[in-house]
């Protein structure tokens, strides 16, 4: 399985399990925010929002 195949599989899984994937994004964002001591909250939130938007786009 090549890298492109893995990306396609990840996209398929994200689309099929969007709610769980978005919960994972939120958990990762919380962990990153905690690890940085809240110094990058805005950037982390922006990245998490974009990741969740991407997940939503995979459902189409």
1-60: pLDDT as tens digits: 687 777 777 777 766 788 888 999 999 999 999 999 999 999 999 999 999 998 888 765
For 10-51, the DSSP string reads: HHHHHHHTHHHHHHHHHHHHHHHHHHTTTTTHHHHHHHHHHH
Q: Say if CB 44 and CB 36 are below 8 A apart.
A: yes
pLDDT recorded at residue 31? 96
pLDDT recorded at residue 15? 67
**Angle at 11 (CA atoms; ends 10, 12), nearest 5 degrees:** 90
Q: For residues 5 and 17, give the distance between their C-alpha atoms in angstroms, rounded to a whole number.
A: 18
pTM of the model: 0.75
């Amino acid at each position: 399985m090549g890298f492109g195949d893995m990306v396609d599989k990840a996209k398929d899984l994200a689309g099929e399990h969007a709610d769980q994937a978005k919960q994972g994004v939120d958990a990762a964002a919380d962990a990153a925010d905690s690890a940085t001591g809240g110094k990058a909250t805005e950037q982390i939130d922006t990245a998490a929002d974009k990741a969740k938007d991407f997940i939503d786009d995979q459902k189409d």
